[in-house]
Amino acid sequence: MGKLFGTDGIRGIANQYPITSEMAVNIGKASAYLFKKENEPSSMVVGKDTRLSGDMLAHGLISGICSMGVDAYLVGTFPTPGIAYLTVSSRSIGGIMISASHNPYDDNGIKFFNQHGRKLSRPIEDEIERLLYGDAFDVISSKIAETGRVFSIDDAGHQYQTFLKQAISNEFSLNGMKIVMDCANGATYKIAPELFTDLGASVKPLFVKPNGKNINYHCGSQHPGKVIKAVVASGADIGLAFDGDGDRLIAVDETGNVITGDQILFVCAKVMKHQGILKNNLAVSSVMSNLGLRIALQNLGIHHVMVDVGDRHIMEKMMESGAVLGGEDSGHTIFLNHHTTGDGILTALKLIEAMQYESKPLSELAGIVTVFPQVLINVNVKNQPDLQSDPSIQKAVKSVEEKLGEKGRVLVRYSGTRPLCRIMVEGPTEDQTRAFARMIADVVSETLG
């Protein structure tokens, strides 16, 4: 049995296994069967980003869902965190988002939310895989006389914007604020500019003309260059860059400097601590977080816990520890007092709210975090054996760690969504850090490439 689920759902190249129309039908069947409540009306929410293959996969998923006697709410193009919200607000048994996040358009993926708007646990993902590789669906669905129907949530955008506004204070206003906004030709291209304009901001929208192929293409949270130029040229107060499905945010301060997810997490943690709402005085991040975040939080007396990469692991640790704030350097930030998953638009609102609370520009707030030089190298691999058991890789890692001492760190891990080994090194200087990362990457390439 092959492993379908990665760090965040099922992902691959569109129209190639497992991201095919046939698999979409069976995935719809498996999730509907697993989530369905016996003898109760059941529904699932289905949304997508702007990728060309989204329509194909949506119709396959919906066919599978309906064949199991479950209704489908088809939302169309919508941010991933919005699907999580609509799943809960519509009292559905689950939600599905069709997206490959920040990846190119020819990739696509299928993400799941349970009835509470949270990512699925590993055991539930394993159960879906077990069902997909079984042969019981034809027998089960043939006995279902009352198939599901397809409905639309016509005011989904309005509902979601109202939900987001509830997370900010009644006095919150963007009147007089100039914002540059990069929507990555993705799922936020309508909702985000509308919301911030409605709140009073003067918004300069970038990359809001999706054509199915230009999602994330030299734009969005991983390519903030255009936002930087626009912020500096227009004298904007802040730049906001979302990823293709809208669950990430990378910001740009008023001077044109990129503000990472770690820095956003710090700014929000600092304000929440001052406000007395940082529960358990704790912030959660992933092992990819910069060493500078850890030091800055320690200086404020805020406890810091790191977990494996993936916002699901962040959420699990937050639930376990009672934390209400967590995030990743990539831009996923979870405000558990307000939402069940990472939300780029919500993060933007809370970041600006923090700026207003402190009455300081973003450059000053984020500048407290000294970002250590960090180099990430991706190496294509043919297989993924246990990295800890390979003596040559471990020798290279140990050598670099000994040279860095307490002035840096090394992290070598496999990608959860692609056949890659990711080598991350932090160190005191850019040149030294890059040299160390390249040394380890060369060994990984020779061993696994």
pLDDT confidence of 407, banded at 50, 70, 90? confident
Asked if residue 34 lies in contact with residue 127, where contact means CB atoms within 8 angstroms, the answer is: yes
Task: Determine the Cα–Cα distance for residues 411 and 399; give it in Å rounded to an integer.
Answer: 13
Report the amino acid identity of residue 336. L
Residue 402: pLDDT band (50, 70, 90) is: very high
pLDDT above 70 as % of the chain: 98
DSSP β-bridge partners for residue 409: 426
pLDDT above 50 (res 424): yes
Q: Report the distance separating Cα 275 and Cα 9, nearest Å.
A: 36
Question: What's residue 331's pLDDT?
Answer: 94
What does the alpha-carbon distance between residue 1 and residue 307 come to, in Å, rounded to a whole number?
28
Report the chain's mean pLDDT, rounded to a whole number.
94
pLDDT tens digits, 31-85: 999 999 876 789 999 999 999 999 999 999 999 999 999 999 999 999 999 999 9
Query: What pLDDT is attached to residue 1?
Result: 41
Q: Is the pLDDT of residue 300 over 60?
A: yes
Q: What is the pLDDT of residues 93-115, one digit of tens each?
A: 999 999 999 999 999 999 999 99
**Catalytic residue status for 101:** yes
pLDDT digits (tens, 9 = 90+) for 140-157: 777 788 899 999 998 999
Q: Pick the catalytic residue: 99, 101, 285, 286? A: 101
Record the tokens describing residue 111, joined without a space.
Answer: 């993400």
- Cβ within 8 Å of residue 47, ≥6 positions away: 75, 76, 77, 78, 80, 82, 83, 86, 95, 96, 97, 98, 187
Domains and CATH numbers, the chain: 5-155 (3.40.120.10), 175-256 (3.40.120.10), 260-366 (3.40.120.10), 374-448 (3.30.310.50)
Q: Where are the beta strands (DSSP E) in 54-169?
A: 71-77, 94-98, 107-114, 150-152
